[in-house]
């Protein structure tokens, strides 16, 4: 059966044959694919002809295709539909892949060939994309130990192997902690304040587990409404502390030691490669370039945001005191009183908005916006295999009917799926032997499931989340490059959030909302006074929100932008990192680092600042759309031609300036956030 994974899939559009793959197939298939890829590498190394761009760089780029495809399928399953078996296989496979990656980057004979091509690049008459690929391949070797002496190469191998295991274990612990916590409510009075749909979903969840009452979990569609609306302060506290304690229990799911080990190993690895810190290593390949630039960027934002945040917090404290006599605002009060204050200031209640945001309508709205901007057509199809019955599948075509992409969408929480929302890919876009291969792109979210009486109705925050991930998906779908490693979202990490964040802007615009925001029962269009209130409230508590994002960026840099070897207490280190951004009293039982998956499991180590960095780009970019019209085809075509289709073939600032005609101005962000 492992041959299914090793050969071109005999499926519609060459899509992943999920139902035919058994878990037991993965490990032997990975071992065989690694063996085959090694043979391809040997073929490049032992080529008797002189090294050329084609026989070395291109050959390397297209080697190991079945292994890459298999990896994308397996690790996406490990995020979206995992179980004990898959997690065990991941622990076995990750060190093998790490070892194989090192076998390539530490292969001296292969590096000699790459170096020979690199040293003659000025005479090769390469295209811009070919030059970028050559630079990227050379750096992937030189930045990962190719120039090290043998003893240090072995040390690097050991570090990489250990890191691959630790980051996996970190994520498994966070997921296990999320799944472990349940709060069963049996007294109906404790449901006071909660929306009807949340109560119904909790009842339904309890029934599925043969329990009487209402069951609440740390899955976002359960957790967020509870801490936002539940009048029972003690239960909000219980939920908030449970969410903040993930990986911080001093038990077998504890992540404190794992955090310390990951930080130290990353630092040691960077030193081995000649870099001062992990952040210096990472940021060399980002728009920001240095940790100093990142820290300066975050601290400049901090100066602008902190006074606004402190004013907002003071206002919120006074509001809570006047309303309920709360003397000390705590973390479990933040969402609750913010929502109440927002309702008071704008007469805007998420529950008032939700009936206008039926999931199917929002999906259709995202598709319509993409059609008006980029001439894309989405057709739901049912002849494609999926890894879970909830997953929807679409064929995406251009205005001439040509295939652009296959699109998967997976919207609801379940035990085998990690929290949050993300975009991913099952197959990249590229051109090989003159044939255009189109991408298979997926978005994964955790929205409220339909209940017996209601469809899935989204909060406005969930609407913007869907548009955000859909923006990433468009970046993947519209890719038009030759090489897979430069395609789609394979761009500098502080540029990758531009397409996603810019798409969120359409959610606030009357012209866009009119396309999809209709009442799920009456079909009535969202009242325009609500649209105005959505726009008015867009900058509500932006100071506090900005401060929160800055605090996460600073925490990330505190782990990765300095020598962490003397850090022994994760909590104490975190409190110190947060000292200039703290508004609420510290909660002794909680620790963020132990469940900060972005930086200890995902790819955001030394990169969490990217969200704010890309917000500067997105505010500036959307200002251009607003100046010319939010569906202006000229601007949309420029964005598609210079950003969405170009992947990583050129420096992002070059691409951005080609679209915008100028460098981004931070004033657009500060103005939008109401900070100036």
Tell me the pLDDT tens digit for each residue of 168-177. 999 999 999 9
Residues 20 and 139 in one domain: yes
Q: Domain check: are 142 and 186 in the same one?
A: no
Q: Is residue 21 part of a domain?
A: yes
Same domain, 206 and 128: no
Tell whether 366 and 466 lie within a shared domain: yes
**And the tokens for 71?**
């990896």
Catalytic residue (choose from 469, 504, 615, 623): 469
306-343 residue pLDDT tens: 999 999 999 999 999 999 999 999 999 999 999 999 99
Identify whether residues 66 and 196 lie together within a single domain: no
Residue 319 counted as domain residue: no
Does residue 462 share a domain with residue 386?
yes
Q: Has residue 344 been placed in a domain?
A: no
Three-state secondary-structure class, residue 439: coil
Domain-ending residue, one of 478, 510, 542: 510
Q: Confirm whether 673 is domain-assigned.
A: no
Q: Is residue 655 part of a domain?
A: no
Task: Give the C-alpha separation, 410 to 285, whole Å.
Answer: 32
Final residue in a domain of this structure, among 213, 244, 275: 244
pLDDT at 671: 85
- CA 16 to CA 386: how far, in whole Å? 8
Three-class SS state of 157: helix
Q: How far apart are CA 244 and CA 250, in angstroms?
A: 14
Instruction: Tell me if 614 sits within 8 A of 498, measured CB to CB.
Output: yes
| Strands of 197-277, DSSP E | 214-217
Residues 488, 383, single domain; the answer is: yes
Q: 131 and 191: one domain?
A: no
Domain of residue 114 covers 3-105+107-147
Query: Does residue 428 lie in a domain region?
Result: yes
Burial of 514 (0-12, 13-18, 19+ CB in 10 A): middle
Q: For residues 165 and 173, what is the distance between their CA atoms, to the nearest angstrom?
A: 12
Query: In angstroms, what CA-CA distances link 597 with 109, 220, 345?
Result: 37, 15, 35
CB 247 within 8 A of CB 253: yes
| Beta strand spans in 352-489 (E) | 377-380, 392-397, 403-410, 422-427, 430-432, 435-437, 440-444
Q: CB–CB of 398/382 below 8 Å?
A: no
Handedness of CA 545, 548, 554, 556 (dihedral sign): negative
For the record, the structure tokens of 260 come out as 């310390």
Do 234 and 365 share a structural domain?
no
* CA 66 – CA 316 distance, rounded (Å): 55
Give the pair of three-digit tokens for residue 148: 């090290």
What is the domain count for the chain? 3
**Contacts with 660 (C-beta within 8 Å, 6 or more apart), sequence order:** 620, 621, 624
- Measured between alpha carbons, how far is 555 from 226 in angstroms, rounded to an integer? 27
What local confidence, expressed as pLDDT, does residue 139 receive? 95
Is the dihedral angle over the CA atoms 371, 529, 670, 314 positive or is it negative? Answer: negative
First to last CA, the chain: 62
Q: Give the CATH number for residue 25.
A: 1.20.1050.40
Q: Is residue 92 part of a domain?
A: yes
Q: What pLDDT score does 651 carry? A: 94
Q: Which residues contact 131 (CB under 8 A, 6 or more apart)?
A: 121
Distance CA 255, CA 248 (A): 6
Best CA proximity match to 613, nearest among 495, 527, 455, 443: 495
Q: What is the CATH number of the domain that holds 457?
A: 3.40.390.10
What whole-number distance in Å separates Cα of residue 9 and Cα of residue 135? Answer: 32
CB atoms within 10 A of CB 346: 16
Q: Are 247 and 254 in contact (CB under 8 A)?
A: yes
pLDDT attached to residue 666: 83
Identify the three-state secondary structure at position 414. coil
Known catalytic residue: 469?
yes
Cα–Cα distance, 424 to 72 (Å, whole number)? 9
Which stretches of the chain drop beneath a pLDDT of 50?
A: none
Residue at a domain's end among 495, 510, 525? 510
| pLDDT value for 277 | 98
87/89 Cα distance (integer angstroms): 5
Which residues are 358's β-sheet partners? 457
Phi/psi at 518 (5° precision)? -120, 150
The reported pLDDT for the residue numbered 493 is 87
Same domain, 362 and 503: yes
On whether the CB atoms of residues 657 and 663 are closer than 8 A, the answer is yes
The answer to whether residues 362 and 478 belong to one domain is yes
State how far the Cα of 519 lies from the Cα of 249, in Å rounded to an integer.
44
Q: Given the DSSP bridges, would you call strands 392-397 and 377-380 parallel, antiparallel or unpaired?
A: antiparallel
- Tell me, yes or no, whether 454 lies in a domain: yes
Neighbours of 462 (CB within 10 A): 25
Q: How many CA atoms lie within 13 A of 177 on its CB side?
A: 26
Please report the DSSP string for 496-542 in residue order: THHHHHHHHGGGG-HHHHTTT-B-TTT-PBPPHHHHHHHHHGGGTTH
Asked whether residue 366 falls in the same domain as residue 484, the answer is yes
């Amino acid at each position: 059966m492992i041959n299914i994974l090793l050969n071109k899939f005999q499926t519609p559009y060459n899509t992943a044959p999920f139902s035919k793959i058994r878990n037991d197939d993965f490990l032997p298939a990975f071992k065989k694919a690694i063996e085959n890829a090694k043979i391809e590498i040997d073929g490049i190394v032992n080529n008797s002809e002189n090294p050329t761009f084609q026989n070395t760089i291109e050959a390397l780029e297209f080697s190991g295709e079945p292994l890459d495809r298999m990896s994308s399928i397996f690790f996406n399953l490990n995020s979206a539909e995992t179980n004990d078996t898959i997690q065990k296989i991941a622990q076995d496979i990750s060190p093998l892949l790490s070892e194989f990656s090192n076998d390539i980057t530490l292969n001296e004979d292969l590096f000699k060939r790459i170096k020979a091509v690199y040293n003659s690049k000025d005479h090769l008459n390469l295209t811009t994309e070919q030059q970028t690929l050559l630079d990227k391949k050379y750096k992937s070797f030189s930045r990962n130990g190719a120039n090290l002496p043998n003893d240090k190469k072995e040390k690097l191998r050991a570090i990489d192997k250990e890191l691959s295991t630790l980051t996996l274990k970190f994520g498994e612990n966070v997921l296990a902690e999320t799944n472990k916590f349940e709060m069963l409510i049996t007294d109906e009075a404790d449901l006071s304040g909660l929306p009807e749909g949340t109560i119904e979903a909790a009842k339904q969840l309890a029934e599925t587990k043969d329990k009487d009452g209402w069951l609440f979990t740390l899955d976002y569609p359960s957790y967020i409404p509870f801490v936002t609306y539940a009048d029972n302060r003690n239960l909000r506290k219980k939920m908030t502390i449970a969410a903040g304690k993930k990986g911080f229990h001093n038990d077998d799911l504890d992540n404190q030691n794992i955090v310390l080990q990951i930080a130290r190993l990353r630092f040691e690895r960077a030193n081995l490669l000649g870099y001062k810190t992990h952040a210096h290593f990472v940021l060399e390949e980002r728009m920001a370039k240095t940790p100093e630039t990142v820290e300066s960027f975050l601290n400049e934002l901090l100066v602008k945001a902190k006074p606004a945040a402190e004013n907002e917090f003071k206002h919120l404290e006074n509001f809570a005191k006047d309303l309920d006599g709360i003397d000390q605002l705590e973390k479990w009060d933040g969402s609750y009183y913010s929502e109440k204050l927002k309702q008071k200031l704008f007469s805007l209640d998420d529950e008032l908005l939700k009936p206008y945001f039926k999931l199917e309508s929002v999906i259709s709205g995202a598709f319509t916006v993409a059609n008006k901007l980029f001439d894309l057509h989405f057709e739901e199809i049912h002849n494609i295999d999926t890894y879970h019955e909830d997953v929807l599948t679409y064929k995406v075509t251009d205005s001439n009917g040509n295939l652009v992409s296959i699109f998967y969408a997976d919207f609801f929480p379940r035990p085998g799926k990690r929290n949050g929302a993300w975009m991913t890919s099952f197959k990249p876009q590229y051109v090989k032997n003159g044939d255009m291969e189109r991408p298979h792109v997926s978005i994964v979210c955790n929205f409220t499931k339909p209940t017996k009486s209601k469809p899935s109705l989204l909060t406005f925050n969930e609407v913007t989340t869907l548009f955000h991930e859909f923006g990433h998906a468009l970046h993947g779908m519209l890719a038009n490059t030759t090489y897979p490693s430069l395609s789609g979202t394979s761009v500098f990490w502080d540029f990758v959030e531009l397409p996603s964040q810019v798409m969120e802007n359409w959610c606030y615009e009357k012209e866009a909302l009119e396309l999809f925001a209709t009442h799920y029962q009456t079909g009535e269009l969202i009242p325009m006074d609500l649209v105005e209130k959505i726009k008015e409230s867009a900058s509500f508590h932006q100071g506090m929100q900005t401060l929160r994002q800055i605090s996460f960026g600073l925490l990330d840099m505190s782990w990765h932008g300095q020598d962490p070897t003397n850090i022994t207490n994760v909590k104490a280190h975190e409190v110190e990192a947060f000292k200039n951004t703290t508004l609420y009293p510290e909660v002794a039982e909680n620790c963020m680092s132990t469940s900060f998956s972005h930086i200890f499991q995902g790819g955001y180590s030394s990169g969490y600042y990217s969200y704010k960095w890309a917000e500067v780009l997105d505010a500036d970019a959307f200002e251009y759309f607003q100046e010319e019209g939010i569906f202006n085809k000229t601007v949309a075509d420029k964005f598609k031609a210079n950003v969405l289709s170009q992947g990583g073939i050129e420096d992002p600032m070059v691409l951005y300036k080609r679209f915008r005609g100028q460098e981004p101005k931070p004033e657009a962000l500060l103005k939008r956030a109401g900070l100036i």
